[in-house]
Amino acid sequence: MRILLKFYQSINLLNAILSFVIGLGVLFSKKLSKQIIQFSLFAFFVSLWALFYFLAFQSKDYYISAIYFRTCMIAGALILPMFTEFVFTFVGKKINPIYRWLNWGLSALIISTIYTNYYAFDGGPILVFHYWPVIGVMSFIQIILYGINVFFSHRELFKASKSSVHFLRQQAKIILFGTSLGYFGAATNFLLWFKIPFPPIFNIFIPIYVVSVAFAITKHELMDIRVAITKSVSYGMVGVLMILSFVIVNIYQLSVILSIAANSLLGLFWAFLARRAREFIQTPIEEKWIVGWYDTDKLIIEIIKLLIPVYESKEAFKILADKLIATIRIKNIHIFYAQKDKENKSVKFALSDNSCEFSANNPLVAGLKGVTKYDDLSDEIKDSTKDCKCLKNSLLIPLFSTEGLEGVLVLGPKISEDAYDEKDFILFRILMDQALMVLDRIRPYENIQKEFEANQNKLYKAEMQIEKTQRLASLGTVAAGVAHEIRNPLGILQLSIAELNPQNISNPEFIKKFKDESTQNIKRINGIIHSMLSLSKGATSEKIAINLNEIIDQTIAFFVFKKVRLAKDYSGAPKIMGNPEELKQVFINLIDNAVRAMPNGGELKIKTYIDGGESVIEVFDTGSGINKNDLPKIFDPFFSTRQDGVGLGLSIVYRIVNDHNGKIIAKSESGAGSQFTIKFPAII
């Protein structure tokens, strides 16, 4: 029976100290607010109550115990209205003034009578207690006050736990849990008043009550209560197992040496296993119980692995965002990218769709140093960024490189509507560090890439310029042929005009012939000039249905074959969709090459036919051929075996054939001529 008293006393002492410490802790841990002050007062009252309770039974003197006991009830009378005040402040409701006056009034009334017989008569010993009061009138009133406060605080907390504000809801649930336990535990104090022999052992719930409420209003933002519980459960289970194992080992009366050996072995065993066992128990419980639960270490390793092959900061951000959405289950993530000017300085931050942007000296980004809740920012900053809807209720994770801010991840609320807890914050901080490393690694590549792209652009422009030059050069080679072509019809025209004389001018037959001839020849000249111009201009991309044979014939007309014998072998009419001018360029280059390969004469053979779905052109020459080593390089730009060659002819051919979805194959043997085979997809 003495043990029960000791247990009871230690609960009270624990309660007194704990409540006092928590009250102080809460008071100094956060910015002072009405809620915090009210809670601290509540905690101090609880502490006082427990302290005097403890003192009342610590003293053996009957009267001193009586005074301490009654003093303890003063604190008890203050706890109830104080807690209700706190609850109302917490749920953000105004307390009904009538109720408030009633509450505090009754409380004051009780306190004023506490040392009188109106409150209670001094009673005798009961159970283990040497003093216990006998119920008086005011005690009934106190029980009524108790009932009223239980009702109101529970009602408000219950309502809040159903509220739509996710944060409040979570807190309210925790407080409701603690409050129910606490009031239930406190209620057991009343049983002895009515001579019901049940000791108020459930006072043990009161510290839980205070702790859970304190947790709810302070730590909740940082730590998920479920994490706290799973942690305590797993630690507890491992602790129990540990104690059990030692008890079992020591229950047998072993010899000293054996006992020492067994105990130290067990000690080593637990030293090795305790943490693992705890994790073994904790992890599956958390995984099952908590939505969006993740293993921080695993997640970070996964993210690092994903970031290894990344060479672009945008991509890195995207990977981070995707991974976070998938594991923490976040409703939405927005990414603000830094956009840089030429000197690599961040100029502004914007979403990828540019819907929302601010300059680099905007107070929001300028002041961003670590993971920040948007709601915690000053009103001034909020005001300057109020256009950005995505920032509302968000968490900002700045991602730095050593050069400065590279981007900001804007995390929306979780799908579960839970708040971000301490675990999340730790993760975000590690991610910031990882991002710093990755971004610093990426930066040189990005710079190189930028330079490379710029150079590529220049090179491309130069190539286009050279291609144009080459086109003009090949124009030069055909110019002689063109001149011949033009001179013939011109000559005919001139001679026709010379034929005009007074006699035949009235001859209708002659005039008709004259007209026909002239028109035809003018058309011919026009056609030649047109094809020459189109060559120099560069081609349009327009593709029409064309007969390759016609194109080749028109191309051949540009050339003057001196020593080279031309053999045409056309079978059928190979038609393709193509750009006539570009294709002319192809044949000009091929024929030009062939003719140049045969300075001492030879045969140029052009063969066309249709093979399955393909229109095929083969150009043979009996010229010097191409060296075996050079053959793979002939389509490369700037590769030339001729001294006067630019080396673009065949590369242009290759490009044009490619543009027409065609294939070109070169076969050649040094000294034995070359053969170019071009295959285009045929049309019917």
Partner 1 sequence: MTKPLIMVVDDEREYTEKIANVIKSVNKYEVITAYSAKSAFIQLKKHRQLFGIFNNRVRLILLDINMPDMDGLTFLEEMRRKYCGEKIGVIMVTAYEDEDKWDKATSNFVVGYITKPFDPELLLSMIDRFFSHEEAYVDMTIEVFDKHLEKMEESKTQPKT
Applying CB under 8 A, the residues found at the interface with partner 1 are 479-480, 483-484, 487-488, 490-496, 498-499, 517, 560-562, 565-566
Which are the contacts of 372, defined by CB distance < 8 A and separation ≥ 6? Answer: 395, 396, 398
Closer residue to partner 1 in complex, CB, 432/566: 566
Distance of closest approach, residue 580 Cβ to partner 1, in angstroms:
23
**Least separation, in Å, of the C-beta of 517 and partner 1?**
8
Q: Are 131 and 185 in contact (CB under 8 A)?
A: no
Nearer to partner 1, 239 or 491 (CB): 491
Q: Residue 260: how many CB atoms within 10 A of its CB?
A: 11
- CB closer to partner 1 out of 30 and 487: 487
Are the beta carbons of 616 and 577 closer than 8 angstroms? no
In angstroms, what is the minimal distance from the CB of 488 to partner 1? 5
Q: What CA–CA distance (Å, rounded) separates 588 from 569? A: 18
Burial of residue 21 (CB within 10 Å: 0-12, 13-18, 19+) is middle
What would the two tokens of residue 236 be? 């507890």
Q: How far is the CB of 628 from partner 1 (least distance, A)?
A: 34
Q: What is the CA radius of gyration of the chain?
A: 48
How far apart are alpha carbons 533 and 391 in whole angstroms? 60
CB of 501 to partner 1, least distance (A): 9
Closer residue to partner 1, CB minimum distance, 6 or 487? 487
Closest approach, Cβ 679 to partner 1, in A, equals 29
Cβ 455 to partner 1, closest distance in Å?
36
Using an 8 Å Cβ cutoff, are 153 and 84 in contact? yes
Pick 179 or 474: Cβ nearer partner 1: 474
User: CB of residue 492 vs partner 1: minimum separation in angstroms?
Assistant: 5
Pairing, β 674-681 against β 663-668: antiparallel
Please identify, using beta-carbon distances, which residue of 164 and 503 lies nearer to partner 1.
503
| Residue 411 phi, psi dihedral angles, 5° rounding | -95, 125
Nearer to partner 1, 448 or 479 (CB): 479
Q: How far is the CB of 439 from partner 1 (least distance, A)?
A: 59
Neighbour-count burial of 571, counting CB atoms closer than 10 A to its CB (0-12 exposed, 13-18 middle, 19+ buried): exposed
H-type helices in 557-633, by residue range?
Answer: 580-597
Pick 4 or 567: Cβ nearer partner 1: 567
Quick one: 232 exposed, middle or buried, by C-beta within 10 A (0-12, 13-18, 19+)? exposed
Q: Given the complex with partner 1, which of 276 and 565 has the nearer CB atom?
A: 565
Angle at 278 between CA 275 and CA 280, to 5 degrees: 110
Judged by beta carbon, residue 566 or residue 610, the one nearer partner 1 is 566
Closer by beta carbon to partner 1, 488 or else 670: 488
- Torsion sign over Cα 208, 212, 215, 217: negative
In the bound state with partner 1, the residue whose beta carbon lies nearer, of 429 and 487, is 487
First to last CA, the chain: 110
CB of 495 to partner 1, least distance (A): 4
CA gap 597, 666 in Å, rounded:
14
Which pairs with CB-CB distance under 8 Å and at least 24 residues apart come from 100-104? 102/148, 103/145, 103/148, 103/149
Q: Measured from the CB of residue 584, what is the shortest distance to partner 1 in angstroms?
A: 20
219-to-68, 167, 205, 340, 407 alpha-carbon distances in Å: 34, 12, 20, 40, 30
CB of 500 to partner 1, least distance (A): 11
3-state secondary structure of 483: helix
Contact present, 550 and 574 (Cβ < 8 Å): no
- What's the rounded Cα separation, in Å, for the pair 18 and 47? 8
Q: How many C-beta atoms surround the C-beta of residue 507 within 10 A?
A: 11
Nearest distance from C-beta of residue 505 to partner 1, angstroms: 15
Residue 49 and residue 75 in contact, taking contact as beta carbons nearer than 8 Å: yes
Residue type, 38: Q
Q: Are strands 602-611 and 564-570 parallel, antiparallel or unpaired?
A: parallel
Least separation in angstroms between residue 527's CB and partner 1 is 16
Structure tokens at 134: 């006998």
CB of 644 to partner 1, least distance (A): 16
Nearer to partner 1, 253 or 503 (CB): 503
Q: Which H or E run contains 114?
A: none
Query: Alpha-carbon dihedral of residues 444, 449, 450, 453, nearest 10 degrees?
Result: 160
Is the separation of the CB atoms in 326 and 415 below 8 Å? no
Output 434 or 518, the one with its CB closest to partner 1: 518
CA distance 271 to 668: 79
The smaller minimum CB distance to partner 1, of residues 448 and 500, is found at 500
Indicate the residue among 327 and 474 with the shorter CB distance to partner 1.
Answer: 474
Strands 404-411 and 333-340: antiparallel
Rounded alpha-carbon distances, angstroms, from residue 207 to 14, 35, 113, 476: 8, 19, 28, 101
Distance in Å, CB of 484 to partner 1, minimum:
5
∠ CA 345-351-356 to the nearest 5 degrees?
A: 100
